[in-house]
Each structure stands twice: as structure tokens, then as C-alpha cells.
Structure 1
Amino acid sequence: MTVATGPADLLYSEVEEELRSSVRALLADHCPPEAILTRCEGPVPYDPALWRKLAADLGAAGLQVPEALGGAGASLRETAVVLEELGRSAAPVPFLGSVVLATTALLDCPHEDGLLAALAGGERTAALAVPLSTAPGAVFPATVRVDGAGTLNGRVTSVAEALVADLLLVPAIGPDGAALYAVDASAAGLTVARRTSLDLTRPLADLALTGVPGRPVAVGAVAEAALRRALLTGAGLLASEQVGIAEWCLSTTVAYLKERTQFARPVGSFQALKHRLADLWLETVGARAAARYAADVLARGDADAEVAVAVAQAHCGAVAVRAAEECVQMHGGIGMTWEHPAHLYLKRAKADQIALGTPGTHRAALARLVDLPAPVAG
């Protein structure tokens, strides 16, 4: 990854706004809240038809993949715009796991043009086999090991998007140390079991591997760097999804309070509610700035990337949760029902707050990065 420095551009380009418009229109047509609620009652909430349209027809799966490999040759800024819209609609698609985490890891793996082209074209869907709670900078996982026969054995819990992935990127400890293995999801000896997860639109799964064949795509320092970059990129861009969640909650609540009346007045005219909404708007604007800065420095390979990601995740997760809580509360009784989609956003916001490192984890990382000493106990 190249290292660049320079001023950040937090504004959206014309291309980014056009991309936003296309994604929003697609989601409005194919991903209404009632459809998401219906899918959540089934065994797997993912929408394969929507995923094909988003990944292949719209080309969102290959945004950060070079044009020579069938991608769009764009940057992580554009990927972040898509995540904003997916957060705004709580869309049940494996974008974070396949396009952000797995694809980013493969971009640092040599000689993997074929896999990247398949992912960019939407022909395959991948998942990075690490617990979704894994934070950037974590120790390379050692729960999966390679035996003398070259097969993988072990267990990985709470993997996002594994239920719909046909390719798994599995970190494992092999004869040469850390390595990333490409594993076919239909391989013998691999069991993928869904587990109960808070976010109904992004279910988790546990992987059990017993003598599973795999192909190493990166070994040693290359594998460690690929995983580290994937987790850092995932955490940074997840902030954009959290901004999308907060914006939907805020705009939906404002619209409802304009229509809901009490004592012959719109509820939104009450001063106490105005103050709460104004505070939430300010927090959302601040979260957008943090998320945009993280996406920009990641796209440019700026040396400030780790700091930017830590700031974004320390802030945006809490804002998304607060916006969702306010959405539920200000909708009153209807906000507490299954029929209203507010609970989907609250659950995703809370799950996102835990994903790829909690705000506390990122605050601790930020303190180390800027050399801020911990408080001295009295």
C-alpha cells in the first residue's frame, strides 16, 4: 500500500453522488423495509436477487478492484458511499464481508488475479474467516492449524457472511507460520452453522474444519499484512455504514414527528423534542466528517490511516446506537413493534458497535497511536 500525505477531501465528488443515487434507487426498488422484515423470519435473511443486481449489474463488488481484473478501478471512497446507503436501508447483502474484508485481503495476496476477477464480477462471494468482533491490530488468529497432510483443522466463531459465501479466506498457522488459505465453502470436512446473532440482517456463523483442503494464497509477513489491512479497512469503512444508519433514523424520526399530533399540535413542535433532534443532527454531522476522513485516508494510503480509523470507530458507533435509540423512543408505541423497522436499525447499530473492535478498543488504540499516557491510579 502506498503512503501519501496531504489534505483530506471530505466532500463528495460528482461520481460519488451519481453512485449514491444509483444504489439508493436500487435499494428503494428491491429492498423496502417490509421485505427485510419478511426475510428476517426465514432461515437466511440474505436477498440473492438484490445481491446480484448490486454486485454484478451495478458493479459494486468490484469498485476497488483494478480495471485489468474486471473491476471499476475506483477507490475506497466509492466503496464507503455504497456502505452508507446499505446502512441507510439495513440491506441484507454480504457487502461488508465479501467486498470490503475478503477483497481487501486478496488485493495484498500475490498471484490471485483469478479470485479477484471472480469477486469483482459478482460471480463469487467470499468471507474472511475471523470473528466479526476482531479489531485491527489483533494478533494473527491461531484457532485453525495445518496438519502434516496440508489440511486445515480448527474452529472459527462468529464469522459474518459465511452463510452465503462460496469462498472462505481462512487465517491459519501452517508449516511456515501465519498463512491465508482459500477454502471452497462446499469442501469436505467443513461445517458452517448459523448462530443466534443480534443483527437479523447480518447473521453470524461458526466454522468447524476437520481435514479441510485449502490453497495458501499468502504466507508469513504477506499474510499478516493482508489480514491487518483488511481489518483496518473494514473498521474504517464500517463507520460509513454507521453514518447511514444514523441518517435514516434521524430523517425517519423527523418525518414522523411532523405528522404525529398531540393536543392538536405536531409532536415535532415541542421544544424538548426539537432540542433532542438538534443534538442528534450535530452528532450525525460529526460522525459523517469522521467517517469521510477515514475513507479518504484509506483510499489515499495516508500514513494517518490508523489514527483516522480509530477516531471514526470510537465516535460513529456510539452515534448510530444513540440515533437508533432515539428513533425507537420518539416513535412511541409503534416504534416498539415488530412491524416497524426501527428495531432492525437498533440491532444493526448495536452489532456494528461491537464489530471490528468496540469504541473502547479503538479509544485505547488511539491513545497508543498519539502517545497519550493512561491515567495514573491514585
Structure 2
Amino acid sequence: MTDEAGNELREAIRPVLEGKWDGTVAHFKEGRTAQAEDELWNEAASLGWFGVAIAEEHGGLGLGYAGLAVLYEELGRYLAPLPALPMLLAAEAIALAGDDAQKSMWLPKIAAGEIRISMALPLKGEPLPRVTAEGVVSGRVPHVGCGSKVDYLLLPVRSERGVDLAIFDVSAKGVVVTPAPIIDLTRSMCTVTLEGVQTDGARRLLLTAEQWERLLDHASVALALDSVGGGMHILERTVAYMSVRTQFGRPIGSFQALKHRAASWKVWLEGARALTTQAALQVASSAANASSLASSAKASACDVYTGVAGDAIQLHGGIGFTWEHECHLFMKRARLNAAWLGTPLQHRERVAGLSFAAALGPDFSRGGLLAIS
């Protein structure tokens, strides 16, 4: 996708988010988050956002990961409550590993927004459900990203042949979805318990190690883009506030100590944006260094977002500490981004492992984040 096409897509997305979801605390005080999510979902579906990366033959726009990158950044900028990442990750998993029948069945529905599907990755240290030879699945999957509503779940399950992905209907007998408390008020997560749920080959995907890593790269860059978008927006709002808030007869933004802090965050954010943009390009082209750049971007962008969101509270003064101001919403989203699907430290260790493996051979790899062996 060309830069011009990317800018046109951004200009199409931003007004919708500004109009449907302004990211204010009023949505949470009045309990309107689920309603706002539904309204935004319907608008996004009608505009084809969920089909940005899906091939045209399956009802999508065919813009690939480059198009998704624009969408992820704008959703982060406005703290949008759409569960875009788990749904679009599921779409890529099906596109990567599904057969023709599975692609024809699921991808058009996802592109049109007719179903709400969420996906989880098999992270090390977390439990995985097990599937018997008869196709009966039991177990628990924590930390599944989802919205206020979900129809289907694409979950990792351990079988005799390795780790597969299985599609479960939320309404099926034995599937229990329990909302999980999280710090981020703009998103939802849940724990899924499977109690003797029957599955079959038509709803199973067998992925290679490379395909699993690509899905992790997709998710890592998505969270980095979300962080860049949110970080840029809260910094812009902070600078605007510093321009009108006066102390000693002068705008506080004119004080050297404060304007230098804001300028420093701008430099850090631009660096994170450059790294994240390059990572998105490499993931889109399936480059050999895509995984290293994806994890580098995730670690860098999440660290910067957490830092700038925290400093924004300080630079806003007393009002920044109140519930009525939106600063805390950015801070909480930044914290979840940093913890979700691997901390910055874990992603830096992944980069180190990949570097060792590239230089000295796979025997010197320090392992990864996924439990797929």
C-alpha cells in the first residue's frame, strides 16, 4: 500500500472515531461503554474495517498488514473499545492455516462484521487445554482479549501432534466465558473454561512454528502501533493544556523545565514510531528480520507510552490526578499494552534469542514467548 493510500485510509478512519468515541470518562461513569462499543462496531463493519487485511476474494479490502497498521494506530489514538486485535488476529490465523472451506466459511463473515470472534496465543507459563483422540477438549485459557460480546473463540489446544487452534462456539455446551478484571477500562478480557467440549477437524487449524511466530509478530506490532497512537495523542493534549494553563502570569509551557520534558517525549515517540513503522513493513513483507523488529517495536513503544502517559498526569497538575480527566485512561491502556502478550523485558529477550540463533545457529537460541513445542 502506498503512503498516499495509507493517508487516505487514516483520513477516513479518524473522523469516525472522533464522532463515535471521544474517549471521555463520561462513557464509564454512565455505563455506556458497551453501547458505545456496539455503535462503533456497527460503523466499523459498514465501512469494511474488519476486512482491511482480508483478501478481496473473501470480501475484504486486500490492503494487507500495511492497512491494518493504520487502523491499529488510530484505534490506539482514540482509546477505541473495539476488540480489533483478537478478531483480526483470528482472521490472519485462518488465512494462514485454514483450508479453502474454512476460509470461505469464516473470512467473509469476519470481513463483514457479521460475527465477533476472538483469539488467544499459547504463551509460555500459561495453561493449555488438552484434546483427546476423540476430539474432546478440556482446560482453561486465561487472558483472552474480547469485547463486551463474543460469538466464537479461536483457542490453542494441545493434541498428540502439537499445539493446534480450535474454533469454539461460545453458546456450545461446556464453554464458560468469565470476564476478567483488568486495569484498562477501554478494553475487556476473559478467562475461557472448556469442560468436555467436542471439536472436529473442520474447526481445527494446524500451524507451523513459523506461522505461530508470524501471529505473535502481528500482535506485537499491533500493540506497538496502539501505543504510538495513544502516546502521540496524550502528548498533543498535554502540550495543548500547557499552552493555556497559566502560573505566575505565564503559560506553564513556557517554563524551560516543562517544555524540555515535553520535547524529550516527542523525540522518544518519534523514535518509537519510526521503529514501529519499519516493523510493520517487515511483518507485511514476511521479511527474515520481522520477528526481531516486531519485538523491538513492542518493547520500545510500550515503554515510551507508559512513560509519556505517566508524565502527562504530572504535567496536567492537580486535574491530571482526578477521575474526571482522561489522563488515567491513557495510563491504564499503556500498562495493559506493556503486559499483554509479553512484557518489554520478555520481548527484548526474544530479540536476543533471535540474534544468537542468527549468528551462532538455532542451538544457541534462548527460546521464545510461545509454548508450541
1:33 aligns with 2:23: yes
CA distance in 1, matches of 2:30, 2:298: 27
* Between 167-176 and 111-120, the greater mean CA deviation after superposition: 167-176
CA distance in 2, matches of 1:232, 1:165: 24
Instruction: Please tell me whether the aligned partners of residues 162 and 168 of structure 1 are also in contact (alpha carbons under 8 angstroms).
Output: no
Give the structure 2 partner of residue 85 of structure 1: 74
1:123 aligns with 2:114: yes
Instruction: Please tell me whether the aligned partners of residues 183 and 215 of structure 1 are also in contact (alpha carbons under 8 angstroms).
Output: no
1:62 aligns with 2:47: no
Report % sequence identity. Answer: 35
Distance 1:40 1:18, change over 3 A: farther
Give the structure 2 partner of residue 322 of structure 1: 307
Give the structure 2 partner of residue 109 of structure 1: 97
Distance 1:309 1:205, change over 3 A: same
CA distance in 1, matches of 2:209, 2:169: 21
Give the structure 2 partner of residue 177 of structure 1: 162
Give the structure 2 partner of residue 358 of structure 1: 343
Q: State the Cα distance separating 1:304 from its structure 2 match.
A: 1.3
Q: Equivalent residue of 1:182, what SS?
A: strand
Q: State the Cα distance separating 1:219 from its structure 2 match.
A: 4.8
Distance 1:174 1:51, change over 3 A: same
| Matched letter for residue 326 of structure 1 | D
1:345 aligns with 2:336: no
Q: State the Cα distance separating 1:314 from its structure 2 match.
A: 2.0
Unaligned 5+ residue runs, structure 1? 1-8
Distance 1:26 1:363, change over 3 A: same
CA distance in 1, matches of 2:7, 2:177: 38
Give the structure 1 partner of residue 7 of structure 2: 17
CA distance in 1, matches of 2:152, 2:240: 42
| Matched letter for residue 94 of structure 2 | L
Give the structure 2 partner of residue 234 of structure 1: 219
Unaligned 5+ residue runs, structure 2? 365-373
CA distance in 1, matches of 2:30, 2:161: 43
CA deviations 1:159-178 (Å, max 9, x no partner) are 11165221111111234432
Determine which structure has the larger helix proportion and give its number: 2
TM-score (structure 2 length as normaliser): 0.89
| Matched letter for residue 119 of structure 1 | I
CA distance in 2, matches of 1:215, 1:105: 17
CA distance in 1, matches of 2:250, 2:36: 41
Distance 1:197 1:29, change over 3 A: same
| Matched letter for residue 115 of structure 1 | W
CA distance in 1, matches of 2:319, 2:31: 19
Alignment of 1:1-378 (within 5 A): 13-34=3-24, 37-38=27-28, 41=31, 44=34, 47-54=37-44, 56-99=45-88, 101-111=89-99, 112-113=102-103, 114-130=105-121, 134=123, 138=124, 143-161=128-146, 163-216=148-201, 217-220=203-206, 222=207, 224-371=209-356
Q: State the Cα distance separating 1:256 from its structure 2 match.
A: 0.3
Give the structure 2 partner of residue 3 of structure 1: none
Q: Equivalent residue of 2:80, what SS?
A: coil
| Matched letter for residue 176 of structure 2 | T
Q: State the Cα distance separating 1:148 from its structure 2 match.
A: 4.7
State the aligned residue count: 355
Q: Equivalent residue of 2:97, what SS?
A: coil
Distance 1:43 1:267, change over 3 A: closer
Instruction: Please tell me whether the aligned partners of residues 81 and 147 of structure 2 are also in contact (alpha carbons under 8 angstroms).
Output: no
Query: CA-atom RMSD, angstroms?
Result: 2.3
Q: State the Cα distance separating 1:209 from its structure 2 match.
A: 0.7
CA distance in 1, matches of 2:30, 2:327: 14
Instruction: Please tell me whether the aligned partners of residues 157 and 163 of structure 2 are also in contact (alpha carbons under 8 angstroms).
Output: yes
Q: State the Cα distance separating 1:225 from its structure 2 match.
A: 4.4
Q: Which has the higher contact order (CA 8 A, sep 6+)?
A: 1
Q: Equivalent residue of 1:154, what SS?
A: strand
